[in-house]
Amino acid sequence: MSGLPLASAKLTLQRGIAVAVTLALLVVIFELVRRKCLSERYAILWLVAAVTLLVLAAWKGLLTSLSHDVGISYPPSALFAVAIGLIVVILLHFSLAVSRLSDQNKMLAQRLGLLQQRLDRVEGQPGAAEGGRSLEGNRSQLSRPPTSAEGTCDVEPGPALREGSPSQSESHRTIALEQSRSR
């Protein structure tokens, strides 16, 4: 009979550890969103997973009944089974996102190649540098590697990457001018 209180204490310790780990996961998710390292649309998926695990870890009756309904004799194993299922869903979601981004990256690389070809064609024509500004300077700005500050997640995009920035609208004008010349 002395083994029963020890088993109960072990189960309570496991539940406490599971609750602590899921609370820590929630704190990490909120911190990553606050620092803008994790997009809100991905954070929602992680928050759903963490809250589900927290509810199952904290609510003893729910986890026990779920584990017995599924045929798992040890309730903490059911918690791990649910966690693995949630991880599979998250991996599927990220696989879809990576596939979509890969297609977009390919399309952008092709567009960049076309723009580079147009830029080379415009540079070969007389009067390519208008207003005393060289197109070669734009090319070097496009091909420069990002600095270490641009690689961190707490840095906002620079002025060249923001919507409606002067350099972006200037590049649109350059492309439009180039297209009108080629017609």
Q: Which domain holds residue 26?
A: 3-77
**What is the number of structural domains in the chain?**
1
For residue 13, being part of any structural domain is answered with yes
For residue 91, being part of any structural domain is answered with no
For residue 69, being part of any structural domain is answered with yes
73 phi/psi in degrees, rounded to 5: -80, -20
For residues 171, 176, 181 and 183, what is the CA-based torsion angle, rounded to 10 degrees? 150
Q: Which residue has the tokens 């693995």?
A: 84
Per-residue pLDDT tens digits of the chain, which is 183 residues long: 445 455 556 667 878 888 899 999 999 999 999 999 988 888 998 899 899 888 988 887 888 888 899 999 888 788 888 889 989 999 999 999 999 999 999 999 999 999 999 999 999 876 555 544 445 555 555 555 555 444 456 544 444 444 444 444 455 555 555 555 555
Answer whether 141's CB lies under 8 Å from 160's CB. Answer: yes
Question: Quick one: tokens of 166?
Answer: 């002067």
For residue 39, being part of any structural domain is answered with yes
For residue 25, being part of any structural domain is answered with yes
End-to-end CA distance of the chain: 93
Coil, strand or helix at 100: helix
